[in-house]
Chains A and B, each alone.
Chain A
Amino acid sequence: MRILAYLAKRLVFVIPQLLGIVLVSFLLVKSIPGDPAVLMLGPTATKEAIAALRQQLGLDQPLYIQFLIYVRNLMHGDLGTSWQTTRPVLDDLYQRFPATIELVTFSLLLAIIVGVTLGVLAARNPRGWIARVSDIYGLSAGALPDFWFALVLIFVFYTVLGWAPAPLGRLDVTIIPPSPMTGALTIDTLLAGDWQGFHSACAHLVLPVLTLGLVNAGPILKMTQSTMEKMLESDFSRYEVLCGVPQNLVVRHALRNALPSVVTIISVLYGFLIGGAVLVEIVFAWGGAGQYAVQGVLNADIYPVLGFVLFSAIFSLVVYIVVDLIYFLLDPRISN
């Protein structure tokens, strides 16, 4: 019951939250220098042609009118058109957003496996060698630029060893992409029963996932380690030890108590990586949403940027709601 009341309260705030985010990003995007009309028509365009295009795009209107028009169009599912791709932004994002989510999700899974495992092992034996490795790893993972790490991996596994496919997108060029169902190629190729395609999609994921996964395992590792250390020193863990509970079980119980903090950092990373993976997307020519938005920023193509912000915001809100539901499931003190 508490869950339903909570969800209702949360959902009521979703629309105003999104509107606020759209407004702020609209103002920010509008402040980017560069006139789309000039960029679209090129250096040879006449003043009249530019003025005509500005009028056609609504750029001659006051800012608040432009905003209201944008919001009205949003209501009809129209996110505007990208002048670079000349396609509706919604269509572009449908294609690109899943590419980013697929990449980020697999990366995060790897980061969780590495981070939580090392964090638990390090906390379990704070003076052991794993704890020392974890300390170094937690520090250096935060200090490594991910695109640099990506370039190193490409050099080693593609250029030198030839094990990885060329860092040029999500599939071999010889493979016909499956008809999009979810947009995630690993799933779509499976649904289509296309084993070769599946294999190629996985192979292309390996290096970017390694890059993002290993770099972002750092914060998960640190959070797991510090929370687990706290839990293992807490009264209830010590009491379990006094009661002769085997260490494995004590650690498992401590992990359950540490989980809310770990889930929080994971959810923050998830939202952050949607945009934060952009450099890695560029290095691997991934064709993801972050790359699309950056192209928009660089070319005064505002609708892709706004569309990306809107999609990311919705994504983060969904993630946070799911996380809150997880808290409810994990902790009886919240749920009743």
Chain B
Amino acid sequence: MDAVETMNKARSAPADTGKTPLIDIRNLRVTFPSGGAAPKTVLKGIDLAVKSGEIVGLVGESGAGKTTLARSILGVPPGPGRIAGGEVHFEGRQILSLSEAEFRRLRGRRLSVVVPNPRAELNPLLRTGDQIASMAKIHLGVNGKEARRLALQMLRDVQIPDPERRMDAYPHELSGGMAQRVVIAMALICNPAFVISDDATSGLDVTVQAQILALLTKLVAEQGSAMLFITRDVGITAHFCDRIAVLFSGEIVELAPREALFLEPAHPYTLMLLASFSHSPRLRDSWSVPDTSRRRELAAGCQYADRCPIAQPVCRERRPPFAENGPGHFARCHFPVRHG
């Protein structure tokens, strides 16, 4: 991760101190229809704000709802999902209530997403250069020639080997790492204010992961964009995220500045996450390995109660409040872990 550290130092824009955040997600709820029965609530009221230039990490295990959140922010929840409530304020507008035509103009232009497994996401019949250029053509209104010039420049920026030749390559001719760079190029070519990186490095081997990560953080910092960095690996977020949110079963259970999260985790689930990634045997032993088989939806109370080693009867009865435990440090737990 050395590359990441160096790139991290290169970051120019510190977190903006302005009062209004760039993007403010309020009580966002997303449901999936579940044949006949009551729809399944996958996001249970997400509140999250990101200031311009800030990088916020979002950590959660598989199925926590990370992709659902990423895509719902853009107004396009996955599959048959439906936004059942909530607001997303971005650059002064509640974008979830925009018309489809207006919202479309924001996607890829002001708000963009870097997707995982890009070889399945790129159109198999179009050359990569054309796919990148079409972003510029659609959103920046430049002509075809200028769009291709920008696309080529972008391919250089994402440090793809032999960019001229890659312009004419089809997605199936790219390696996973190269395809990931192409998707980053598409996400950044219009210089968006907010980038969502959804598990952008999953499915790549470790060295390529580190390179892609370094590249993404460097480009985002150079552009001065804010980023929501989604991952399953809490360890990655330690390197460059200003704040980190922990998502569990469709709820943000902890939100804290980076140091606070790693040094003073308040929610038992966060502690478990850190323990399983930590090298300290003492931590690992006291917070046992997660039992993912025991996952059921709890109507009332804490979503984590079934797996929590310190759960009390009250945890199953009352939903814990999202309480502040320190400056900017929130946790949704009746018995937050105390440190020191």
Interfacial residues, chain A to chain B (CB-CB below 8 A): 235-236, 238-247, 249, 253, 256-257, 330-333
Contacts and interface: CB of A to CB of B under 8 A. Distances in A.
Contact of B104 (A244, A253, A331): A244
A253 B109 CA distance: 20
A242 B120 contact: no
Contacts, number: 63
Contacts of B117: 235
B104 A246 contact: yes
Contacts of A331: 124-125
Given A244-B108, A331-B125, 5 more contacts: A236-B122, A236-B124, A242-B76, A247-B104, A332-B124
Interface string B128-149: 0000001100110000000000
Given A253-B123, A257-B125, A330-B125, A246 B138 contact: yes
B125 A243 contact: no
A235 B121 contact: yes
Nearest to B70: A242
A242 B78 CA distance: 10
Nearest to A240: B123
Nearest to A234: B120
A44 B135 CA distance: 84
B138 A253 contact: no
A211 B122 CA distance: 42
Given A235-B120, A238-B76, A333-B170, A243 B126 contact: no
A245 B124 contact: no
B76 A244 contact: no
A256 B130 CA distance: 15
B125 A242 contact: no
B108 A245 contact: yes
User: For chain A, what secondary structure do more than half of its interface residues adopt (helix, strand, loop), or is it mixed?
Assistant: helix
B170 A236 contact: no
Nearest to B109: A244
B121 A244 contact: no
B165 to A, nearest CB: 14
A242 B123 contact: no
Interface of B: 71, 74, 76, 78, 104-109, 112-113, 115, 117, 120-126, 134-135, 138-139, 170, 172, 186
Contacts of A239: 115, 121-122
B126 A242 contact: no
Contacts of A247: 104
A158 B120 CA distance: 55
Contacts of B104: 244, 246-247
Contacts of A241: 76, 107
A243 B172 contact: no
A247 B122 CA distance: 16
Contacts of B124: 236, 257, 331-333
A244 B138 contact: yes
Contact of B74 (A236, A240, A242, A330): A242
Nearest to A254: B123
B123 A257 contact: yes
A247 B109 CA distance: 16
5 contacts: A241-B107, A242-B113, A244-B139, A249-B134, A257-B124
Closest 7 CB pairs of A and B: A244-B107, A244-B108, A243-B108, A239-B121, A236-B123, A332-B170, A235-B120
A240 B135 CA distance: 10
A330 B71 CA distance: 31
Contacts of A257: 123-125
Contacts of A253: 123, 125-126
Nearest to B198: A242
B235 to A, nearest CB: 27
Of A238, A244, A245, the most chain B CB neighbours within 10 A belong to A244
B172 A242 contact: no
Nearest to B117: A235
Contacts of B78: 238
A331 B117 CA distance: 21
B105 A244 contact: yes
A242 B107 contact: yes
B115 to A, nearest CB: 6
**Looking at B74, B115, B125, which has the most chain A CB atoms within 10 Å of its CB?**
B125
Nearest to B79: A233
Contacts of A246: 104, 138
Contacts of A256: 125
Most buried by B among A236, A246, A333: A236
A240 B120 CA distance: 12
A236 B138 contact: no
Contact of A236 (B71, B76, B106, B120): B120
A106 to B, nearest CB: 30
Given A236-B120, A236-B124, A257-B125, A242 B71 contact: yes
Contacts of B126: 253
A253 B78 CA distance: 20
Contacts of B125: 253, 256-257, 330-332
Identify which of A240, A247, A249, A256 gathers the most chain B CB atoms within 10 Å of its CB: A240
Given A239-B115, A239-B121, A244 B71 contact: no
A243 B123 contact: no
A240 B115 CA distance: 11
A244 B110 CA distance: 10
Contacts of A240: 123
A316 B124 CA distance: 30
Contacts of A330: 125
A244 B140 CA distance: 12
A327 to B, nearest CB: 12
